[in-house]
Chains A and B, each alone.
Chain A
Amino acid sequence: MENWWIALLLGVVFGFLLNKAGLTSYHKIVNVFRLTDMAVLKFMMSGLVVAMIGLYAMRGLGWIVFPAVPATYVVGNLAGGLIFGVGMALSGFCPGTCVAGAGEGKLDYLIPGILGFLTGAAAFGLTYEMVFPQISRLAAYGNVTIGQLWNIDSWLAIGLFSAMSLFLFYLIDRGLIRKDRLSSAK
């Protein structure tokens, strides 16, 4: 029960941050794919850098143990991402931002959006046994991390990812994005 209060509280903060970052708007999501507004990328990479450093530091100090690491099965992870990008660029939301947007009073998120997720979830659950075991067997490495897979120090990977993120942020903020020529962008 106590865990559920934590889930509720963390969910509220999560939804609040999605709202404040503007990610509950159609244009913010689509424009990252048009390379005219990189807020989604900045949000994701900042979150990743902070969480990576924090998690590996806390584990190093012996404060936490990691939950099961999401499984790597190259074909499925990549194919899923490829299909996911199509849905995201068309609708202008993803599961989390749709739920937060629904909470803001966006009825196109609340009604067709949430019904669509439930429909997709039912479809996946009903076809799971036909689809998933096959695809998750292809190029499967199990619940590994980059450090384990390539036998490198995780801090090296974290350092590289952080440096790459900061460099990308610097380039974006120096003006390395495309100019938006849509009239609604003005």
Chain B
Amino acid sequence: MNRVRQLFAQELWSPYLAGGLLGVVGLLAVGLSNHLLGASGGFENLAGIAGQAVAPATFDNVYFNFVMPAVITWNVVLLAGIFFGGTLGALSAGKFRWRTMPDKQWVEVFGASRVKRWGIAFGGAAVLQYAAGIAGGCTSGLAISGGMLLAPAAFLFIAGMFASGIVTAMIVYRGRF
């Protein structure tokens, strides 16, 4: 029991342990509710709900009525869970803290400007979500959930993601890559 408590209080776990357990979560999602884990799908439902509340005519289309309906789905509830899981993880190690900037490495490369960080976070997120739409899922919904079913789509996505991620990091970090 003490060892379990110690493990929970530890800030970082071995990525092999955490990743292996994530595999179990992926299994349980299929075994218990015949669903795939996936974060980007829930954002599509939420955007539809918000959009139909603000501009009902614009958001009254095939996509938000049938493809990714503007309602609370299994994936939206999953998103809420992921949020509180993050809170629980931070609390368990005594690391919960409100903060507006990422770690030292960001500051070393991009400087301490909050406007710059928040701008890149917003733009990056919009790009990520649109890309996930085109690909058919994100890191969880396509790479992991598709990969575990052996869908070729997942491995194409992972290859593309690493190729452009490496090139982007090279450009951003230049001499410090």
Contact = CB atoms under 8 A, between A and B. Distances in A.
Given A22-B12, A44-B19, A185-B105, A78 B159 contact: yes
Contact of B96 (A21, A39, A104): A104
B49 to A, nearest CB: 10
Interface string A89-113: 1111111111111111111110111
Contacts of A26: 102-103, 105-106
A87 B144 contact: no
Nearest to A88: B165
A49 B93 CA distance: 28
Contacts of B15: 21-22, 39-40, 42-43, 46
Contacts, number: 524
B89 A104 contact: yes
B120 to A, nearest CB: 6
Nearest to A146: B150
Interface of B: 10-13, 15-16, 18-37, 39-40, 43-44, 46-48, 50-51, 58-59, 61-64, 67-68, 74-75, 77-90, 92, 95-109, 114, 117-169, 172-173, 176-177
Interface of A: 3-4, 6-22, 24-27, 30-35, 39-40, 42-52, 54-55, 58, 63-67, 69-74, 76-109, 111-126, 128-129, 131-132, 135-136, 141, 143-147, 149, 154, 157-158, 169, 181-185
